[in-house]
């Protein structure tokens, strides 16, 4: 009954829906008074959402046994990178008029920009090594080690979001809380593996 | 060959029905999940702007002062992109959250270092000659609008209470439930009136602002009662607000209930919240960046490409005199 190709296609199309609605709204002038700012903020939040989804897969598999989810992890991770790139391009065009010197100065002068840019740059090697061929070439262990970069990337991403707020930090805190749970689960698993816990009991 | 052919034919027909059913299911699944995702997205990103239906103000005097050549920002944008943290920290959400804000009865207490302290009813303030003032508004966040305000010079009001010679500053206070000024004549709406807690906003309430007295008495400084010839919509600071066009927007305090003249620099909300980011003066200045972002450019609402920010928001000819000899990098 299950059709892995179709399942992937479903996730692929659904992940594009937010961008499609965003572009639709933009085309019909429904993004409000400041469409550029809205587009920038929304693509940024979407990047974080996909980073969180990527990180949620391992805990969901291990706790609830949703092992099938592993099939989608690569695609969801690549979507995080994709939305991050759209976010960066939006910033470059509408905030910085595509002036590379101004962008460089921005990275240098403003911690929150530097933090966001670092997160995006760190995602590049992960995207590049996401193919089956690269996994083989690197070897599973090395590949896994490299891809642990997603932990600092997610932390930097949420920090970037937190740093731009003026006073209301509800949403960054929400993301931080979910991220803390997802990373906390891994730390817990690492330092209290099931076997040791059982032995202690 | 013919025999085996017949059997196979029947098999193919079967499989076709089977495949059709599967394809139908798949199409349904695809349509269903994408619709659900789109609805979920829409729920988190609502998109309906609020219409402005406030009453028209009679006999507005036009063109008493010169107007900027810039194109005016449409009313719909002015009324649906607001920073008014008492209602919401989302600029697109303020209009909806402020929909049921009650602004009658309303009084503005003018007190402190004045000869004749007085509590003005909003009806009295609306009787003062109302004139149109088309001003640029530059938000500290890096966007700007051109707004046709209706109102009167703050000076007109302050002259009625006669400032004492030791008055050096004017302090302003926004309406907030439970923090009304004292006095028997003070009449303000009761209850929470749709406003949220300071905890959710992340800044202290009531919102307070301040000006030096010469800034407050400057002819460009007005108390606004309307935009586009109509009474102020709630989200824009109804029923009466300050407008100081050469300073960042947050200095132009909304829904004013109290003005107090003092001899000391009064505390101001954003300066208390983050002193290294928001100074007492907060004059629009492209040469002094906000610690987290540049102030050299701005996005005019309605334009996609950033434009250069002007010193004193383009009002240098009128106001630069006020700051002669001051280091504006220090007194940001």
How far apart are the CA of B13 and the nearest CA of chain A, in angstroms?
A: 19
A98 touches chain B (CB under 8 A): no
Helix (H) or strand (E) holding B186: none
Average pLDDT over residues A75-95: 97
Q: Do A33 and B30 touch (CB under 8 A)?
A: no
3-state secondary structure of B87: coil
A18 touches chain B (CB under 8 A): yes
Give the one of B29, B292, B304 whose C-beta lies nearest to A112's C-beta: B292
At residue A200, does pLDDT exceed 50? no
Model pLDDT, residue B177: 96
The segments of chain B whose pLDDT lies below 70 read: 1-13, 48
Average pLDDT over residues A134-159: 96
Please give the residue that has the higher pLDDT: either A25 or B14.
A25
Model pLDDT, residue B5: 52
Q: What's the ipTM?
A: 0.86
At residue A201, does pLDDT exceed 60? no
- Helix residue ranges, H only, chain B: 2-44, 75-78, 94-97, 122-125, 154-161, 198-201, 213-216, 269-273, 316-319
Model pLDDT, residue A197: 52
3-state secondary structure of A165: coil
Q: Do A14 and B292 touch (CB under 8 A)?
A: no
Q: Do B89 and A167 touch (CB under 8 A)?
A: yes
Model pLDDT, residue B50: 77
Q: Do A34 and B301 touch (CB under 8 A)?
A: yes
Within 8 A of B300 by CB-CB distance, chain A residues are none
Q: Are A146 and B67 in contact (CB under 8 A)?
A: no
Q: Do A169 and B91 touch (CB under 8 A)?
A: no
Q: What's the pLDDT band for A186 if we cut at 50, 70, 90?
A: very high
* A contact test, residue of B306, B307, B308, B309 with most A CBs within 10 A: B306
Q: Do B30 and A25 touch (CB under 8 A)?
A: no
Distance (Å, whole) CA A181 – CA B63: 61
How far apart are the CA of A181 and the nearest CA of chain B, in angstroms?
A: 23
A4 touches chain B (CB under 8 A): no
Model pLDDT, residue B218: 98
Give the one of B29, B292, B299 whose C-beta lies nearest to A10's C-beta: B29
Q: Do B77 and A21 touch (CB under 8 A)?
A: no
Q: Which residue has the tokens 């303020």?
A: B94
* B contact test, residue of A110, A167, A171 with most B CBs within 10 A: A167
Within 8 A of A167 by CB-CB distance, chain B residues are 85, 89, 201-203, 273-274
DSSP secondary structure letters along B89-119: SSTTTHHHHTTT----S-EEEEEESBSS-EE
Distance (Å, whole) CA B295 – CA B285: 7
């Amino acid at each position: 009954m299950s059709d892995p190709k179709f399942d992937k296609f479903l996730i692929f199309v659904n992940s594009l829906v937010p961008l499609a609605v965003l572009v639709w709204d933009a085309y019909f002038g429904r993004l409000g008074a400041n469409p550029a700012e809205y587009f920038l903020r929304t693509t940024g939040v979407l990047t974080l959402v996909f980073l969180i989804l990527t990180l949620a897969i391992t805990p969901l598999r291990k706790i609830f046994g949703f092992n099938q989810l592993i099939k989608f992890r690569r695609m969801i991770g690549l979507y995080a990178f994709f939305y991050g790139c759209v976010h960066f391009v939006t910033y470059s065009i509408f905030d910085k008029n595509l002036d590379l010197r101004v962008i460089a100065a921005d990275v240098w002068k403003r911690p929150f920009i530097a933090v966001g840019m670092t997160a995006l740059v760190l995602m590049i090697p992960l995207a590049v090594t996401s193919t089956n061929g690269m996994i083989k070439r690197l070897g599973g262990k090395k590949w896994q080690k490299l891809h642990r970069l997603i932990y600092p990337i997610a932390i930097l991403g949420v920090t970037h979001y937190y740093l731009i707020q003026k006073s209301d930090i509800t949403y960054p805190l929400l993301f931080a809380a979910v991220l803390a749970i997802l990373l906390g689960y891994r730390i817990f698993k690492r330092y209290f593996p099931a076997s040791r816990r059982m032995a202690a009991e | 060959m013919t025999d085996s052919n017949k059997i196979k034919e029947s098999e193919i027909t079967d499989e076709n029905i089977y495949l059709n059913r599967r394809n139908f299911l798949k199409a349904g699944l695809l349509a269903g999940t994408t619709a659900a995702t789109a609805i979920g997205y829409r729920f988190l990103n609502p998109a309906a702007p609020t219409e402005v239906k406030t009453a028209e103000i009679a006999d507005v005097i036009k063109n008493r002062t010169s107007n900027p050549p810039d194109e005016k920002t449409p009313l719909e944008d002015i009324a649906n992109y607001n920073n008014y943290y008492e209602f919401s920290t989302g600029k697109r959400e303020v209009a909806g959250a402020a929909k049921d804000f009650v602004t009658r009865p309303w009084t503005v207490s003018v007190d402190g270092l004045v000869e004749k302290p007085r509590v003005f009813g909003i009806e009295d303030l609306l009787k003062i000659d109302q004139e149109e003032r088309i001003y640029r508004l530059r938000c500290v966040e890096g966007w700007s609008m051109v707004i046709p305000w209706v109102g009167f010079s703050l000076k007109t009001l302050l002259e009625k209470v006669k400032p004492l010679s030791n008055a050096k500053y004017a302090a302003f206070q926004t309406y907030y439930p439970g923090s009304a000024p004292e006095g028997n004549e003070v009449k303000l709406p009761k209850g929470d009136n749709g406003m949220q807690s300071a905890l959710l906003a992340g800044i202290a309430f009531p919102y307070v602002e301040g000006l030096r007295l010469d800034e407050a008495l400057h002819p460009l400084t007005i108390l606004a009662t309307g935009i586009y010839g109509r009474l102020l919509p709630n989200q824009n600071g109804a029923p009466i607000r300050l407008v100081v066009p050469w300073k960042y927007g947050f200095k132009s305090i909304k829904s004013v209930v109290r003005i107090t003249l003092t001899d000391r620099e009064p505390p101001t909300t954003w300066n208390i919240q983050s002193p290294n980011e928001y100074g007492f003066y907060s004059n629009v200045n492209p040469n002094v960046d906000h610690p987290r972002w540049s102030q050299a450019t701005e996005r005019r609402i309605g334009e996609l490409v950033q434009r250069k920010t002007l010193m004193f928001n383009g009002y240098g000819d009128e106001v630069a005199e006020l700051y002669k000899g001051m280091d504006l990098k220090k007194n940001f």
